Chain A
């Protein structure tokens, strides 16, 4: 049995135990997925606090619906679907304050021309990336992040977002171009 299959088998066992009410097993599932869920939520919402809330809510929803989670499938896509939905709801609630948030991020985005090497290091790079992601429409952002961060196939992303694979392919491609244009504009480079 290869490592991937072994991990899936272990997860299926944990899920079965969690379904029977074992909180310890449920917590082990959280440990396995919390960082990825948080990272996705962070890039979807652009806020650490929102990402924490979204992560907590995603696992609570999982706990409430655990009886309906398919044990034969990987938990990842199920959790990412829930996370995307939670972040979308959060975005709708905070839509009014989004413009202000955007301005704050843009203001904190480092000037790439001043320190081209520093831009792509650590926190600055992350801020730079998140500022770019925030310029994307919700679905394009989600499609791009699910594809790149989680390494999901176009079909899997389409299922999560409730779109067709062709639409998702187009959204991802458009998102890449928009993001590149944002980075180019910020760094003053020509495309």
Chain B
């Protein structure tokens, strides 16, 4: 290997990046080769130059630089400082909200009606308990859910009364009626389910 080819290895050696055996062989060569030894010395010299602090560092007014930084910081919106904290708070609130509203499936027995089904059952029992035909009521403008047509409600009650068994023994087999109100008071969707089966309610 010629001295020119060794330059790369000398540069690695200067940086301490040459493996031990390679470094030992190179050191032997440097002891015997004046040109390579001079080259290594120059590289060391360059290294020394790189390690010196630039003279301009003495001239720069760092106090003025800091003042400029302070001014910039003062102009920046303060919210930046609290963004991470706000983000964390939002995440905690979100997690708490999800946890509070998470359906507790472990507490629901298989076959038990869901909250919607319970509402429907309550509605149905309400119809059963009041067999008298409802008086026509005035529609309230403020009511969020419009009332169904009284005739339709009466028809529903008749249907439920005819379909459900009045005896307590057949109570569990009574059909479930789910009434879904639509935005149009004249349109009501009624879903009927055969049995409340294993319902506890």
Q: Tell me, in angstroms, the Cα distance from A126 to B50 when the chains sit together.
A: 9
Q: State whether A67 touches B84 (Cβ < 8 A).
A: yes
Q: Tell me, in angstroms, the Cα distance from A176 to B46 when the chains sit together.
A: 8
Q: State whether A63 touches B12 (Cβ < 8 A).
A: no
Q: State whether B56 touches A48 (Cβ < 8 A).
A: yes
Chain A interface, number of residues (Cβ within 8 angstroms): 45
Which chain B residues (74-112) contact chain A, with CB distance < 8 Å?
Answer: 76, 80-81, 83-84
Q: Mark A105-134, 1 if CB is under 8 A from B, else 0.
A: 000000000000000101101100100000
Q: Tell me, in angstroms, the Cα distance from A169 to B16 when the chains sit together.
A: 10
Among B49, B50, B54, B70, the residue within 8 A (CB) of A27 is: B70
- Given A39-B57, A42-B54, do A173 and B11 touch, yes or no (CB 8 Å)? yes
Minimum C-beta distance from B26 to chain A (A) = 13
Q: Tell me, in angstroms, the Cα distance from A149 to B54 when the chains sit together.
A: 10
Q: State whether B66 touches A34 (Cβ < 8 A).
A: yes
Cβ-closest chain B residue relative to A175: B11
Q: State whether B69 touches A147 (Cβ < 8 A).
A: no
Interface size class on chain B is 35 or more
Q: State whether B50 touches A149 (Cβ < 8 A).
A: yes
Minimum C-beta distance from A106 to chain B (A) = 18
Minimum C-beta distance from B87 to chain A (A) = 10
Q: Tell me, in angstroms, the Cα distance from A183 to B46 when the chains sit together.
A: 9
Q: Tell me, in angstroms, the Cα distance from A122 to B60 when the chains sit together.
A: 15
Among A123, A145, A191, the residue within 8 A (CB) of B50 is: A145
Main secondary structure of the interface of A (DSSP, over half): helix
Q: Tell me, in angstroms, the Cα distance from A83 to B39 when the chains sit together.
A: 32
Residues of A within 8 A of B81 (CB): 21, 67
Residues of A within 8 A of B39 (CB): 180, 191
Residues of A within 8 A of B73 (CB): 23, 60, 63
Q: State whether A169 touches B15 (Cβ < 8 A).
A: yes
Residues of B within 8 A of A172 (CB): 11, 15, 17
Cβ-closest chain B residue relative to A120: B49
Minimum C-beta distance from A48 to chain B (A) = 5
Q: Tell me, in angstroms, the Cα distance from A51 to B68 when the chains sit together.
A: 14
- Identify the B interface with A (CB < 8 A): 4, 7-8, 11-12, 14-15, 17, 39, 42-43, 46-47, 49-57, 59-60, 62, 65-66, 68-70, 72-73, 76, 80-81, 83-84
The 7 closest A-B pairs by CB, nearest first: A148-B50, A173-B11, A67-B84, A176-B11, A169-B17, A123-B55, A173-B12
Provide 5 A-B residue pairs closer than 8 Å at the C-beta atoms, listed in order of the A residue.
A39-B53, A56-B68, A67-B83, A129-B49, A169-B17
